[in-house]
Structures are given as structure tokens and as C-alpha cells.
Amino acid sequence: MRSYLPSLALLSLLASCATPHDPADLDLTYWRFDGKLSIQEGGRSRVVNIDWQQRGDSSDIHLNGPLGIGDVHIRAIGNQLVIDTGGSSQVYPLDQDLVIEGDSFRLPWKRLAYWVQGLQGPDMAPIEGAFLQDDWSVSILDSDNNGPILIVLSHPEVRLRLKVHRWQRSTVKGTANQI
């Protein structure tokens, strides 16, 4: 009778070493992804396309979807959040409640750029399983070598589900804008 224990032990060891990505191996300064974002709040659900480009501390996020949301351009620069909905622009402090279609909820913009990369914050600690912070639950459900590809962000007022189609990372400023 053959023993499968050595094979199982080796497989377990390899599986435990195979993390989807190590933050030390990724460029966290210049990156971009595109995908789909599902937003559930107030008994409503919508799905929008998302294209997020990060350059240092500046975020440039394009959302577009079916009638009702249209095109939205969000820029986080310094401590300001600029939201352009095509016909008008509004400027918010990053720590203020964000009002979208009459519903108000606080999005942690400063931490969001870390969370979508699978990191808890500027300390670069990876999110393993679920992570809780300020009434937000962040769960990484699937990852590949470039970063998370399925993320769920839950708050008592809203649930966001992000499915990343493509990641692009660069060490050279400006080259992450070409996917």
C-alpha cells in the first residue's frame, strides 16, 4: 500500500507558498485596471464599467453605465475629490459624505486605492480573506499575479462588488495609461 502523505504534504506546502501577489513585487505607484463595478444600495442595484488609473496620490476614475448613471469622471487629487457628471462638476473634501442620486454614504477614498490592490493601507499589509475597518468589510475573493480580480466591499449602507478584467502596472510614469 502506497502512502500519499508525502505528496499531500508537498502539495500543501506549495499551495501555502502560492500567494496571488506579494505587494513587494508590485508597483504601487503607477497602475491601472478596468472592469465592472456592481453597486447595491437603498434597495437598488446597478452595474457600471470602471476604468481606474492611479498616478502616485492622484486617482482618475471613469464610470459609465446604462441610463441613469451615464458617464461619471472622478478625480482624487490631494485632499479633494472632483466629480464630473458631464453637465456639472462638484468638489468634495475626501473625508466628506458623497451624495450619489440622493443617497449619501461615506466612501473611504484615501484607503480605497489600497483596498482595490488587496492592501489594508499604507503599511502595505495584505488583505487575507476579509478585513474590517470603519464599518467596511473588504473581501478579496479571487486574485491573479497582478492583483485582486474579485473584491467585495460591504458597509451597512452600500455593497460594492468589483470584477477586474485587466491590470496594468508600470514603474515608468505615464505608461500605465495604455492598456
Q: What is the pLDDT of residues 97-127, one digit of tens each?
A: 565 555 556 677 778 888 999 999 888 899 9
Q: Cell 447595491 maps to which residue?
A: 40
In the predicted model, what is the mean pLDDT of residues 152-169? 93
Pull the grid cell for residue 171: 514603474
Domains of the chain: 20-177 (2.50.20.10)
Distance, CA of 179 to CA of 172 (rounded, Å): 14
pTM across the whole model = 0.76
DSSP designation for 125? P
Q: Looking at residue 21, what is its pLDDT?
A: 45
Residue 30's nearest CA partner among 172, 178, 138 is: 172
- CB of 140 within 8 A of CB of 127? yes
> Which position has the higher pLDDT, 145 or 16?
145
